[in-house]
């Protein structure tokens, strides 16, 4: 009996030791597991490859404005479209809509109804639009007007100090003079010009420009062989902090630190940095640029790809992003600042503040 008791005690002790060993192994595993992805990245560097952006992806950048127009046209029935006066229409909800042929609103007018204007709209200074407007012709907005939302089938010209609280869209061009606020988004099918001290969040135009000499017809810069080239190389140069002036690189550049690219350099590839990125004057980059920190693009530089920053973007005098055959984006999550003479063929978007200086 004593021998059996001893064997049972040894067996129990062995089981407890085994359980303790398994618990220790599990504890060690739980401690090590969170470090595995970081360790793997340290040695295999999968995340060091260029940022993948599907350049073939596209979406309807003017979807909301097109939907707004469709609501109007679906609600209007036959010849009633041309009948001036007030009508109750079912838009997103039932609204009282004022239908006008050619509309001209005097200084200081306050408009309380949704507007459907079958020809042109002209407003003098200090007019307040408390509801949306849809204009089938052209639009001329006076100084210091206040508007909610505006859809236009022609061109829109906005004088100094006008303010949009929601959005505006034009089939043609948009020209916004100094100190205008362009709402949550402003989009058009043509040239979108924003003058000094204009503020914005999301813009789309072809191009979006701060070039005061642009007018409504922009001449495309003559492409050279470097600009016209399509980036295809998969080679990568890593962990640079400075690229000297007049450098030529036929590869992508990836840096864990901040990166400065000297004047008159050409990078035929993508540029990615985990901190800030400063690009000098007259630099050409044929790929996308991405930074976790701020991005500053120097005067007269060109980027054929998308520009993305988790923080702030500054595009200096004469910068070009994209081209007529390449719709691209400039996305600065905290802010975007545009100096004069900038052209962006596509989107300019920020979750913070956008400003022309």
Residue 101's CB is within 10 A of a number of other CB atoms, namely 13
Residue 160: what pLDDT? 97
The per-residue pLDDT for 275 is: 96
How many CB atoms sit inside 10 A of residue 170's CB?
28
> Cα(168)–Cα(187) distance, rounded to whole angstroms?
7
**Model confidence pLDDT, tens digit, residues 253-290:** 999 999 999 999 999 999 999 999 999 999 999 999 99
- What's the confidence (pLDDT) of residue 152? 96
Instruction: Going from the first residue of the chain to its last (357 residues), give the mean pLDDT of each consecutive group of 10, the final group possibly shorter.
Output: 57 78 83 75 55 49 81 69 78 85 96 94 97 95 97 97 96 97 95 97 95 57 50 77 95 95 96 97 96 97 96 97 89 97 96 96
Residue 52 pLDDT? 47
Residue 83 zone, left/alpha/beta (φ > 0; ψ -120 to 50; rest): beta
299/308 Cα distance (integer angstroms): 18
What's the CA gap between 207 and 156, in Å, rounded? 15
Start-to-end CA distance of the chain, whole Å, equals 96
Q: How far apart are CA 345 and CA 326, in angstroms?
A: 7
d(CA 237, CA 249): 9
The label of the residue with tokens 């060690």 reads 28
Please state, in angstroms and as integers, the Cα–Cα distance from residue 200 to each residue in 163, 185, 311, 351, 356, following that order. Answer: 10, 7, 16, 10, 9
CA angle 303, 308, 311 (to 5 degrees): 130
CA distance readout (Å), 356 to 69, 133, 202, 208 = 29, 26, 13, 12
274-283 own/partner pairs: CB under 8 Å, 24+ apart? 277/309, 280/245, 281/316
CB 210 within 8 A of CB 339: yes
Q: Is the model's pTM score more than 0.85?
A: no
* Among 336, 335, 332, CA closest to 316: 336
Q: State the pLDDT at residue 231.
A: 54
Residue whose tokens read 């980036």? 231
Q: Where are the beta strands (DSSP E) in 126-265?
A: 128-129, 133-135, 139-141, 146-152, 156-158, 163-170, 174-176, 181-182, 185-188, 192-194, 199-209, 236-238, 242-243, 248-249, 252-255, 259-261
* CB-CB contact of 328 with 305 (8 Å): yes
What is the DSSP track for 117-137? ESS-EEE-TT-EE-S-EEESS
d(CA 157, CA 149) in angstroms, rounded, equals: 15
């Amino acid at each position: 009996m004593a021998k059996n008791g001893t064997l049972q005690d040894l067996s129990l002790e062995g089981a407890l030791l085994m359980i303790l060993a398994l618990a220790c192994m599990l504890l060690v595993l739980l401690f090590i597991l969170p470090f595995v992805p970081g360790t793997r990245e340290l040695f295999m560097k999968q995340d060091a490859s260029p940022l993948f952006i599907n350049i073939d992806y596209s979406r309807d950048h003017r979807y909301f404005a097109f939907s707004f127009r469709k609501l109007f046209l679906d609600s209007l029935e036959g010849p009633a479209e041309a009948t001036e006066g007030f009508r109750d229409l079912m838009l997103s909800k039932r609204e009282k809509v004022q239908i006008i042929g050619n509309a001209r609103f005097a200084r200081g007018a306050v408009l309380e109804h949704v507007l459907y204007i079958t020809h042109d709209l002209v407003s003098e200074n200090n007019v307040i639009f408390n509801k949306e407007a849809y204009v089938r012709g052209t639009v001329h907005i006076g100084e210091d007007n206040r508007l909610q939302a505006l859809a236009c089938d022609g061109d829109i010209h906005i004088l100094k100090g006008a303010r949009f609280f929601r959005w505006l869209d034009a089939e043609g061009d948009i020209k916004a003079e100094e100190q205008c606020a362009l709402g949550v988004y402003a989009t058009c099918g043509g040239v979108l010009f924003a003058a000094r001290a204009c503020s914005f969040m999301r813009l789309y135009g072809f191009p979006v420009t701060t070039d005061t000499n642009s007018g409504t017809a922009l001449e495309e810069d003559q492409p050279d062989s470097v600009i016209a080239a399509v980036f295809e190389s998969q080679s990568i140069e890593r962990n640079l902090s400075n690229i000297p002036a007049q450098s030529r690189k036929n590869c992508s550049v990836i840096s864990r630190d901040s990166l400065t690219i000297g004047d008159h350099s050409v990078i035929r590839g993508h540029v990615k940095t985990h901190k800030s990125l400063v690009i000098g004057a007259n630099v050409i980059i044929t790929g996308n640029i991405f930074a976790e920190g701020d991005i500053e693009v120097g005067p007269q530089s060109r980027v054929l790809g998308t520009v993305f920053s988790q923080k702030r973007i500054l595009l200096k005098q004469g910068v070009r992003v994209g081209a007529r055959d390449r719709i691209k984006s400039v996305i600065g999550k905290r802010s975007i600042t545009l100096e004069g003479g900038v052209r962006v063929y596509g989107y300019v978007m920020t979750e913070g503040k956008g400003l022309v200086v």
